[in-house]
Structure 1
């Protein structure tokens, strides 16, 4: 009996001890998670745990309080640093700062020496930093939190990245015309197959490193490109994408094609921190803080913003908007909201997409406001079915909904006729489009949808260029930063004029034309460039 009691007593103490150890371990994890979150806020936003902004000391003794001197602004979200002119911003990821995995020229930083660097501006050898590097007012706990976050930048396993392959995907929604689907997939898959032929013998190149123990697997990895097809209700798209991703994660999403808003796909990319590069969509519908999707333009939203600026400039007091689809309704709402800020009113004529534009209802609107411009947020088949004998003071069309195609509009005999046009003006030389067509012809790819296929080619070309530049540091945020700093990349962009990219920018094209059409033909001499 005594022996049984002793065993019970021993087991109880053992269980209690295990509970204490587990509780202590859990508390340590929670404390570290808390510091990680605090460190991320300091690094990305320059914000302290109490909500105040970090104070930076610049030009020797000038205190600046604000987010403009956050670590991310110079070192990038990835922490991999950058080059600005002749000035090199070094990497600050944990593998560089706290180990000798990628460098051997200095001792490892500690939390103590990191604080001396950040607060006093003194490096590991006692020398002052470059004057361009600010000093910061940070406590010991602030520096500890920042150090934990910097270590996390190099510890995250990058999805879709394997020693023998890099896994990528593209997305096509099932409502896309089968010929358009085939057209873009022919381009993407041909590029990937050529990449995998190793025409430059990348996989056989010697692996160079400072020491054998720090050498990484070969830089070359074949591409594995999956096609994710989204079906059914748009509300289920995110769950469909998550299933694809969970079953076989990818490093990045390249291109893609959707006839509606990109919003559900964009939300998925943000949630999973997945780079989604240059999809073709009529409405990006992104949020101001979105980071992981890079688009050609805002699409219909950009057109709405262009029209708003145009109508304000021309002192209009009322407009009429005609539409039927959800994305057109979204564009009309954006335009109305912009105009309301300038005391310009708008009337909305919504009709069923199964029907043609209701001419009689439109005339009723025009009788009340005869001088109001009319914006037709409709596709070409609806436009061509209209009764062009109607008296409309000024008519505006959406080039996005027309897929950039202004052909066959000469039958529309309105008094004044315009298109918001996001693309290179008709007849203007497009060397990037020519380059794509030569590439496709040499590979016997049928060019059935030139604009869509050229955009797919640019997406895969840009992704490949950035992957080659980041070389062995295959970090998803670093991939995006390479695109941010690819100043020459827009030169290879077909269709879109005046394109540019820069740090944090997520749209290549930021403006468009108000393009007059005379007898259905573009009057490029009087086209007006508008950048909202």
Structure 2
């Protein structure tokens, strides 16, 4: 690459300042970075950050007809292309060089004045930044090193992946997931054509890089407070490029924290209680699961709520005990098992209802054989109440067959088994289920693809949603990895997943998936559905698709 690319790396202290400048638009003295466009609006702070357009990896992005070129050292300090199509696929640039290499002086001129190494004016979209010499040196040093080192799990012609199983995961889901992963990885490796040389030649036709995939299954044991330590040991013994799929139960937080801390992409696990963390970059989820259901329920309840009872503005009476005698206001009664994902969902719903002033009553179901306890809780509900059930199929099946039900009964579809929720027949007409997927009739064509693949692979359908979400996660990973050429950097993988996922038409259970930069939940809405018949699994939407 030449002397420019071989300069000493930034000191550790300066690296943090440079990263803050690049990612967040904050100068070393704490003032916001400012960029100017001639005759246009200036940008400042986060809006001016390099990562805003060139992405965290520095590999740029293609948005419609606009191509933001790569700006990491691998491409800045070698001959490159000014052609939009070539810039959209960084590994092909050297085949048709159309601009000279940058050096520190010409790069500083490009950043300050918008002039490339050959004297051409850069695109109007590129702001001009009046950086002082120290800040400029810091930024150029950061760009020189940005995304220059592949991940530990991508150092050879074998890409290393892990999937993670928590000890409270459903064994049937675990087996269903691993069977799909093993078959997908086996098929992927069947088309491997051998090691591919580095894509550095300026006269080589650059085919997509094909590497073998190897899967490691990390099975956790013990309590959640020990999981991160176990994962660190696993990662030390088996360094991986990314975590694909995975299955969990009551909590996924230690896995989430491990992936974020280690900088490992954690892609689309099979969990219904993900971690909502706006600052996290590496974990990517299908949806917010039961937390999404809580928001959908809150929107329905708020739309149907009567005027709030007298009290402090916005006050929400969230309690476990019965209200005072003589109280007549509508209550939101939530039933769940303590320590289960429904407990977190119930708390989220209570919080979402605070602005409405609703009176929320939390009821913990504790009996192992809950029929009598459930009957008592249902009898306590008034006709004006809304009854919310965060229960698994075994508990739903124990609901009393004959009961005077409130006008509003909402059930978590994710926890209850979706259209196979075993509600007693007397409950089916009154209950509405949250349903964060396309309806069965809507997804029939999309499901032909994974179901056909299962038949070809001779995989018995044992847990259709888990198997389909796992197959979809593998497909998205394969599409993203195939566009990375030899740029196997974790940040770039996440960015390619964002792009490929948003372009998909066939999405299994989901009507649509999409991730804008910074978003980490690909499906953002749900239906409320009802059973259309006294028995069976036929459901119909009770309203439009809701994006809370």
Alpha carbons of structure 1 residues 315 and 137: separation in structure 2 relative to 1, 3 Å: farther
CA contact (8 A) 2:374 2:398 kept: no
Alpha carbons of structure 1 residues 98 and 60: separation in structure 2 relative to 1, 3 Å: farther
Q: Distance in 1 between matches of 2:392 and 2:364?
A: 14
Q: Distance in 2 between matches of 1:303 and 1:92?
A: 41
CA contact (8 A) 1:490 1:508 kept: no
2:90 aligns to what? none
2:355 aligns to what? 341
Of residues 55, 58, 73, the one that matches 2:37 is: 58
Shift in Å at residue 360 of structure 1? 5.4
2:180 aligns to what? 187
2:296 aligns to what? 306
Q: Distance in 1 between matches of 2:101 and 2:198?
A: 25
Q: Distance in 1 between matches of 2:223 and 2:359?
A: 34
Cα RMSD for the two superposed structures: 2.7
Q: Distance in 2 between matches of 1:60 and 1:203?
A: 53
Q: Give the unaligned 5+ runs of structure 1.
A: 1-28
Paired residue secondary structure (2:152)? coil
Shift in Å at residue 206 of structure 1? 8.3
Paired residue secondary structure (1:492)? coil
Alpha carbons of structure 1 residues 207 and 415: separation in structure 2 relative to 1, 3 Å: closer
2:386 aligns to what? 373
2:255 aligns to what? 265
1:70 aligns to what? 49
Of residues 242, 246, 266, the one that matches 1:256 is: 246
1:524 aligns to what? 540
Q: Distance in 2 between matches of 1:337 and 1:49?
A: 39
Q: Distance in 1 between matches of 2:71 and 2:10?
A: 23
Shift in Å at residue 91 of structure 1? 0.6
Tell which deviates more after alignment, 35-44 or 411-420: 411-420
Shift in Å at residue 448 of structure 1? 1.0
Q: Give the unaligned 5+ runs of structure 2.
A: 1-7, 81-92, 309-330
CA contact (8 A) 2:151 2:241 kept: yes
Corresponding position: 1:404 with 2:418: yes
Alpha carbons of structure 1 residues 403 and 257: separation in structure 2 relative to 1, 3 Å: farther
Q: Distance in 2 between matches of 1:113 and 1:204?
A: 36
Q: Distance in 2 between matches of 1:80 and 1:424?
A: 34
Corresponding position: 1:87 with 2:66: yes
Corresponding position: 1:282 with 2:260: no
Aligned length: 500
Superposed CA deviations along residues 252-306 of structure 1, whole A, max 9, x for unmatched, are: 1111111222221111110011111111101112311111111111101100111
Alpha carbons of structure 1 residues 417 and 363: separation in structure 2 relative to 1, 3 Å: closer
Task: Name the TM-score, length of structure 2 as normaliser.
Answer: 0.85
Shift in Å at residue 187 of structure 1? 0.9
Corresponding position: 1:362 with 2:411: no
Aligned pairs for 1:91-490 within 5 A = 91-99=70-78, 103=94, 105-198=98-191, 202-203=193-194, 210-211=201-202, 219-316=209-306, 317=308, 318-326=331-339, 327-352=341-366, 354-356=368-370, 358-359=373-374, 361-363=376-378, 365-367=380-382, 370-393=383-406, 394-409=408-423, 411-413=425-427, 416-486=430-500, 489-490=503-504
Alpha carbons of structure 1 residues 516 and 405: separation in structure 2 relative to 1, 3 Å: closer
Q: Distance in 1 between matches of 2:415 and 2:69?
A: 45
Q: Distance in 1 between matches of 2:389 and 2:147?
A: 51
Of residues 488, 508, 529, the one that matches 1:494 is: 508
Alpha carbons of structure 1 residues 384 and 40: separation in structure 2 relative to 1, 3 Å: same
Q: Distance in 1 between matches of 2:400 and 2:213?
A: 52
Q: Distance in 1 between matches of 2:248 and 2:501?
A: 28
Shift in Å at residue 65 of structure 1? 2.4
Task: Name the TM-score, length of structure 1 as normaliser.
Answer: 0.87
Shift in Å at residue 93 of structure 1? 0.7
Alpha carbons of structure 1 residues 206 and 42: separation in structure 2 relative to 1, 3 Å: closer
Superposed CA deviations along residues 108-128 of structure 1, whole A, max 9, x for unmatched, are: 333332222112112212222
CA contact (8 A) 1:426 1:524 kept: no
Shift in Å at residue 495 of structure 1? 1.0
